[in-house]
Chain A
Amino acid sequence: MRKLRAWFVRLGGLLNGRLDRRRSDREFAQEMESHLQMHMDDNLRSGMTPEEARRNALIKLGGVTQTREIYRERRSIPAVETLLQDLRFAIRMLVKNPGFTVIAVLILALGIGANTAMFSVVHAVLLKPLAYPEPDGIVTLATFWKVSAHQGQVSGPDYHDWHDQSDAFESMAAYNHGDTSVIPGTSSSPTAEYAHLATVSTEFFNVFRMSPAMGREFSANDSSRAARVPQSSASISPPSTSANPATRSAKPCGPPGRVSRS
């Protein structure tokens, strides 16, 4: 407890400015001086010559410089004091060499920025959960090829078997995407364009528990080959399409499945 108190006092000594330290040094010098004077007075009383008295008092006191050093070390915490001195020196040097400072700051900023950017990507792609309700229920299904030990796309018939026969999933949908040609515009003046499209099965929106941003949701009848309902979200609208998404040519339903467990 008392030791702790002493440390706090010394910690306080760290905060003292140069003036405080000088005052403390002066007080120590005064104390030494008064000590010497009293000793000399005593020596004189015991019959020494003034010179002898002073010499004897000085010898008895011992090395004042050494004592002052020990005293100073006790006053605060020398190691931390040195550290603070180094810090102050570093800051002074940085102010003195602005060119070096700018380059150092830029390099640091670049390093920190690059790391932040990389982590942001990792966070968004790998760590952050998907922005759908109950994202941990959404899984990707794939076919595992025994021969090549690779995962691959799911064939259409396999998907239909899984969808109809498995009860491990609340809903299951297949999707495929790729670049293909579309025909936006009105039926009177059709134009041909190349666009990135995704083809999905009817339960696609159930898997993610989302509604399409435009157009209508699928109904069970839509899975018949005749019915094809275009869905469009802002991000996949071809630039020339207006608010009304036009009929587009669609590729047949593709294999990989994305499913949601119950």
Chain B
Amino acid sequence: MIEKTDVWQGTLALMVLKTLEMLGPLHGYGIARRIEQTSGDLLAVNYGTLYPALLKLEQEGYIDSEWGQSDNNRKAKYYRLTRAGRKQLAKEARQWGQATAILARFLAPGEEQS
């Protein structure tokens, strides 16, 4: 159970970092919506699980947070990518690319033989 969440949080962290890189400073709700939209309905996850992940990223220094005003004048906590976060994103994206490439080769053995 715990391991499962850990794995999930690992990928979730990457999604959060990527979202912040794409969209700039954003509140938790915005990040959650964005992740949901990007993944389609494939990732149907409680929005709540996002917040501990955000706290972890902030403790690790990958993101910053600040209270601000949303577009329709709601008070919201905005998260922003730090320089360390940018570096971490590049590193993790590269690792994921390698991992998926290797897996893809395993799962499509026909191409390898031809």
Contact = CB atoms under 8 A, between A and B. Distances in A.
Interface of A: 2-3, 5-6, 9-10, 27-28, 30-32, 34-35, 37-39, 41-42, 60-64, 66-67, 70-71, 74-75
For B47, B48, B70, B77, which residue has the most chain A Cβ atoms within 10 angstroms?
B48
A6 B51 contact: no
A60 B60 CA distance: 27
B100 to A, nearest CB: 23
Given A2-B62, A6-B56, A34-B76, A28 B46 contact: no
Interface string B42-64: 00001111011001100111100
B48 A64 contact: yes
A5 B48 contact: no
18 contacts: A2-B60, A3-B60, A5-B61, A6-B60, A27-B77, A30-B75, A31-B77, A34-B74, A34-B75, A34-B77, A35-B29, A38-B29, A38-B74, A61-B46, A62-B48, A66-B48, A67-B48, A75-B55
A143 B46 CA distance: 90
Contacts of A75: 55
Nearest to A45: B72
A62 B49 contact: yes
Contact of A2 (B30, B49, B61): B61
B33 to A, nearest CB: 8
A74 B48 contact: no
B1 to A, nearest CB: 13
A35 B55 contact: no
B59 A5 contact: yes
Interface of B: 27-30, 32-33, 46-49, 51-52, 55-56, 59-62, 70, 72, 74-77, 84, 88
Given A5-B61, A61-B47, A62-B46, 8 more contacts: A5-B60, A35-B28, A35-B47, A38-B29, A38-B72, A39-B29, A41-B74, A63-B48
Contacts of B52: 67, 70-71, 74
A69 to B, nearest CB: 9
Given A74-B52, A74-B56, A75-B55, A38 B47 contact: no
Contacts of A3: 60
A6 B49 contact: no
A70 B61 CA distance: 19
A31 B66 CA distance: 11
A35 to B, nearest CB: 5
Contacts of B47: 35, 39, 60-62
Contacts of B48: 32, 61-64, 66-67
